[in-house]
Amino acid sequence: MTVIISLCILLLIAYLFDLTAGFTKIPSVILLLLLGWIVKEVTFFFDIRVPNLTSTLPILGTIGLILIVLEGSLELELNHSKRGLINKSFLGALVPLLILAFSLAYAFQYYTGYNFKDCLANAIPFCVISSAIAIPSVRNLSSNLKEFVIYESSLSDIFGVIFFNFIIYNTDFGAETFGYFFLEILFIIVISFISTFLLSFLLNKIDHHIKFVPIILLVILIYEISKIFHLPALIFILVFGLSIGNLDEIKHLKWTQSFRLDLLNKEVAKFKELTIEATFIIRALFFMLFGYLIKTSEIVNPDTIIWAVAIVGAIYLLRFLQLYLSKMPVFPLLFVAPRGLITILLFLSISKDQVLPLVNNSLIIQVILLTALTMMIGLMASAKHREIIIKEKIKAKHTELDTDDTDTIDEIINS
The secondary structure element, H or E, covering residue 127 is: none
Q: Interior CA angle at 271 toward 269 and 277, to 5°?
A: 105
Torsion of Cα atoms, 188 then 192 then 193 then 197, to 10°: 150
Burial of 382 per CB tally in 10 Å (0-12, 13-18, 19+): buried
* C-alpha to C-alpha distance for 279 and 75, rounded to whole angstroms: 13
Maximum Cα interatomic distance, the chain, rounded to a whole number of Å: 71
Whether the pLDDT of residue 200 is over 90: the answer is no
The closest alpha carbon to 122, from 171, 170, 167, belongs to 167
Compute the average pLDDT of residues 321-350: 89
Taking residue 296's Cβ as centre, other Cβ atoms within 10 Å add up to 10
Looking at residue 4, its pLDDT comes to: 85
Looking at residue 252, its pLDDT comes to: 65
Looking at residue 367, its pLDDT comes to: 94
* C-alpha to C-alpha distance for 176 and 310, rounded to whole angstroms: 36
The closest alpha carbon to 57, from 347, 276, 362, 356, belongs to 347
**Average pLDDT value over all residues in the chain:** 83
The closest alpha carbon to 23, from 139, 135, 105, belongs to 139
What's the DSSP call for residue 337?
Answer: -
* C-alpha to C-alpha distance for 87 and 81, rounded to whole angstroms: 11
Looking at residue 323, its pLDDT comes to: 92
pTM over the 0.85 mark: no
Whether the pLDDT of residue 189 is over 60: the answer is yes
Give the CA distances from residue 136 to residues 20, 72, 146, 221, in Å, rounded to whole numbers and listed in that order: 12, 10, 10, 26
Looking at residue 409, its pLDDT comes to: 47
What's the DSSP call for residue 360?
Answer: S
* C-alpha to C-alpha distance for 235 and 159, rounded to whole angstroms: 9
**Does residue 268 sit in helix, strand or coil?**
helix
Lowest mean pLDDT among 12-16, 330-334, 406-410: 406-410
pLDDT tens-digit readout, 41-65: 888 888 888 888 888 888 888 888 8
What's the DSSP call for residue 79?
Answer: S
* C-alpha to C-alpha distance for 160 and 142, rounded to whole angstroms: 27
pLDDT tens-digit readout, 221-258: 888 888 888 778 888 888 888 888 877 766 666 656 66
pLDDT tens-digit readout, 370-414: 998 899 888 888 777 666 666 666 666 655 555 455 555 455 445
The closest alpha carbon to 17, from 35, 5, 31, 36, belongs to 31
- Structural domains of the chain sorted by starting position, each given as residue range(s) with its CATH number in brackets: 2-414 (1.20.1530.20)
* C-alpha to C-alpha distance for 155 and 408, rounded to whole angstroms: 37
* C-alpha to C-alpha distance for 308 and 262, rounded to whole angstroms: 51
Torsion of Cα atoms, 41 then 42 then 46 then 52, to 10°: -70
* C-alpha to C-alpha distance for 126 and 342, rounded to whole angstroms: 9
